[in-house]
Structure formats: structure tokens, C-alpha cells
Structure 1
């Protein structure tokens, strides 16, 4: 195990998206697969529809910036702040924001329940699952759901499984949504997107009660472990949001759900 994912044997590479654009990513297959989940009539499109220059979008767990790119398409002129702690993926994010998100800014930070530092587990062969909250059992469950639902051949499945277990650790900086709002003088959040691989409860705890009325929409990936999905739905409903839950076909049988909360 290495403590420097920036020195991974899998450096960033140029990847071509189906729409013809070029982005920096860790692996072309991972990049194209992730774009397929984000493009089209996805929760990302629905969450950002109708937003524009007067809105701020916080992309928490931005990975290489594909969601930020989608938001920039859907909400031209919106101010987009994108947060990603892993050094390799942050380098891709910064490059992709510069290329494709003209009103965006990238930050090399995790977002959690309190400011400080934390240990990030980085997966070089599946970088989108890198996390502050390691859970190999949940990772394996979702990996198996993915390969089953995408009908990966048996030999390729074994190769992917052997690579899936590789990991590295690195110490990263952590901030909170409340701190971000104060630091950047944000009056209103049009969309708060959170995709932090089991760290979603911590991100929510880092939002002061008085800040919630200034948040208009929340797009949240939830790992439904120990009833977490139901608790978060109830919490957001109690804050005045209308909540819808969906699950991408590739994750049927896994723990990953998408939650979209909007103001009536």
C-alpha cells in the first residue's frame, strides 16, 4: 500500500467522450462509463434544469469533473464550485474545469462534518469509489452488482475483481459546506450535489441549521447501509424538501441510490 496516490502507476490520460469532447481521466473505460450515467435525462440533468447565472452549484465529491461539466451545460453562467480531495483526480478535475466549465473553480479538498484532515482511501483502478469511509464489503457488493448488470464476461470479471482490491491512502484536507459558504460569500445555493462514497451523513452534519433555507435543491448519492436512505429522506422532508429516490440500472442489487430533493 502506498501513501502517495499522486505517484500511482496509473497517471491521468486523455479520454474521449461520446459527444466528441476530450477530458482528462484515470481510465478511459471508467470515464466513458461515468459519463453515460451523467449524460442524457439523468438525475444530474433534472437537478440542474432551470438554474442559471444567478445560481451557485456546489459539486461535493466532484471526481474528475464530469458532473460539473453537465451542470455547466444545463445551467449556463451558474457559478460552480467543485471539490475533490484525491491528488490524481483533483488534477484531472482542475484541467477539465478549465477546459469545459467556464464559470467553475476546482478545490483540492474533501467536504465533511468538520474542518481538519482525514485519511482518504484511493482506488487507482476504480477511482470514483475513493472514500474517507472505507467499507470493503459495501464496495464488493456494488462492484458485483455493476458487473452482473452490465454482463461483464467471466474472464474480464476476474481481472477486474483482482484489480479492484488495490488501494492507496493519503491525508487530505477537509472543509464543511458551512465553511465554504462563509469563505466564498455565498448567499444562496441553487444546487448542492453530494457524491462522497458513504460520507453523505458527514456532509449533511457539516451544514448549520440556519443555512438550510438558503439551499434550493440537493442531489445526493446515498449508500443505503443500516437504513441510511430512509433517515436521509425523512430528514430532508422535515426541512421542507420534496424528495424522489431512484436507482441506476447498473446498481440494482447494490446499495447505491440517487436522491433528488427540491423545494415545492
Structure 2
């Protein structure tokens, strides 16, 4: 496999992985740990769907936690990111970890994504970051200086009048997108194709498309989902719609949490559980 588009870095736990942007690794390494809070449990032999896998840090985390005895289906639609995901999974040489070069949605189709090569974790199928959204992000970062990722934490030491200017420059560079056509399927398509009987944890981090992913579940397949963790963006009142959809389909025990760096944003983490399993 070609490796000219990515590099190898060492994680805080000493393990080496491939990545596209080293500055993103520290952010995502901390972020994926938040998906295993508030009662989320995994055991050896469980099945996990990692939807919006990016380079695979969550997949690698749960594989390590379960000593390699866990089944993970990792989905990443953007080809350049998928190449790195596949490389990271291949290095583990585990038949229990599977990567798929497509995303999940409410129908099978081809869709155009905005791919941010310098900020891959915010690549998305919905319209990309407007100037207003960048300004909102800048204000949140300026208001949470102690929570900034290591890659930009030095900004807190700059004079206060200079910080907005520097962040403007950083965000303008980071949010330059190119359009990429990607394949999408539905969750129920995948469940049928791979004869999945149970999903012990469905993790969804898909930058505004989380409701679309959940709408791709047929009614009879909801009972197969035991736990869900979703990074939910509340645009178009989608957080409320997600909560309603979860409750309607038996995931009635719900915790909603917002990480410190996300305070004041429209992004929350939703943890949901089938009632009979609690």
C-alpha cells in the first residue's frame, strides 16, 4: 500500500499509528475516550459499529480494551482517510476488525463530501463551514483557552488582542475543502449483508449526518442495537429529533453531555441504552 500521503506517529500509550495530520491525532485520541463514559460497557466477543471511523482511533481503542477479542466494523467514506484507516487496521492483522470504504446514511447513494485535508475530522456531506460558523468556532476557542488542543494551545500565551487574528489565519487554512464523491449505504443494508444479529455498541460521529445514519435502520433492526453513542449536532433541531427517535425504538435510558471544549456550541454527546439491558 502506498504511504506517501500519510505518516507514522506515536500515541501517548506508546503505540504507533498512521495518520494524515499529526495535530489531529492528539485531539481525536482524547475525544474517542469520551465515547466510553456514562455507563457504556464493552466485553470480549462484543460487536461494535464505528460509523465515521476517520483513521480508526476508536476502533483501535476498543480492540485494545478487549484484548483483541472484539468485532469491529469501521466505516469511512472519504478515500484518503479510508486508506489510513485500512492501514491502521491491517497492522493489527486481526480478522475481527473490518474496514469499509463507504459511509452510512438514510439511503444507499453517492454523495458529495466536503473534504478538509488539514482538518479531516470535520469533513462532511452537509454544506461546509461558512464564515459565520468559523467565527463561532473562533469565539468558542477563545472562550475555552484552557481546553485548546496541544497543537494550538500556545495561542493562550499570545496577547489577547492578537489571538483572534492568529485563529482567523489558522481556521482559514484548515477549512479549505475539496469536493469528493463517496458511497453511502444504510445501516440495515450492512446488517443484512453481514448477517449481524446484535450490535453491542453503535458509535456515530459523522458531522451533522447522525440523524441520517439512524434513519437508515429498519424498524426490526432497532432491537439489535444495545447501546448507542452519538456526537450530535443540533442544527435544524436535530438533537431533539435524535432523542425522540431513540426513545421510540426502545433506547429509553439516555444521557446527554457536553465536553468542556464544546461548551456554548451546538454539539453534544448522546449515550443511549436499551432499557432491558440496564
The two structures share one fold, judged by TM-score above 0.5: yes
Q: Does 1:161 align with 2:155?
A: no
Correspondent of 2:119 among 126, 146, 154 = 126
Alignment check: 8 A CA contact 1:49 1:75 kept: no
Residue number in structure 1 paired with 2:202: 192
Q: Does 1:258 align with 2:266?
A: no
Structure-to-structure mapping, 1:13-24, within 5 angstroms: 13-24=7-18
Residue number in structure 2 paired with 1:37: 31
Residues 6-34 of structure 1 deviation map (CA, whole Å, 9 limit, x = unaligned): xxxx9312122111111111111111111
Which has the higher Rg, Structure 1 or Structure 2? 2
Correspondent of 1:210 among 208, 216, 220 = 220
* Secondary structure of 2:236's aligned partner: coil
Residue number in structure 2 paired with 1:243: 254
Residue number in structure 1 paired with 2:159: none
Between 117-126 and 221-230, the greater mean CA deviation after superposition: 221-230
After superposing on structure 2, the runs of 4+ consecutive aligned residues of structure 1 that deviate more than 4 Å are 45-48
Residue number in structure 2 paired with 1:62: 53
1:146 Cα deviation after fit:
3.9
Distance 1:17 1:156 in 2: 28
Residue number in structure 2 paired with 1:105: 98
1:228 Cα deviation after fit:
1.5
Q: Does 1:232 align with 2:225?
A: no
Distance 1:67 1:47 in 2: 17
Q: TM-score, normalised by structure 1?
A: 0.88
* Secondary structure of 1:18's aligned partner: coil
1:152 Cα deviation after fit:
5.6
Distance 1:211 1:33 in 2: 33
Aligned length: 252
Distance 2:93 2:264 in 1: 34
Alignment check: 8 A CA contact 2:114 2:180 kept: yes
Alignment check: 8 A CA contact 1:44 1:71 kept: no
Q: How has the CA–CA distance of structure 1 residues 37 and 159 changed in structure 2, closer, same or farther, with 3 Å as cutoff?
A: same
Q: Does 1:49 align with 2:46?
A: no
1:45 Cα deviation after fit:
5.3
Alignment check: 8 A CA contact 1:45 1:70 kept: no
Structure-to-structure mapping, 1:71-82, within 5 angstroms: 71-76=62-67, 77-82=69-74
> How big is the alpha-carbon RMSD for the aligned residues of Structure 1 and Structure 2?
2.1
Q: Which runs of 5+ in 2 are unaligned?
A: 156-162
Alignment check: 8 A CA contact 1:121 1:168 kept: yes
* Secondary structure of 1:32's aligned partner: helix
Alignment check: 8 A CA contact 2:119 2:175 kept: no
Alignment check: 8 A CA contact 1:69 1:101 kept: no
Q: Which runs of 5+ in 1 are unaligned?
A: 1-9
Q: How has the CA–CA distance of structure 1 residues 139 and 129 changed in structure 2, closer, same or farther, with 3 Å as cutoff?
A: farther
Q: How has the CA–CA distance of structure 1 residues 214 and 193 changed in structure 2, closer, same or farther, with 3 Å as cutoff?
A: same
* Secondary structure of 2:72's aligned partner: strand
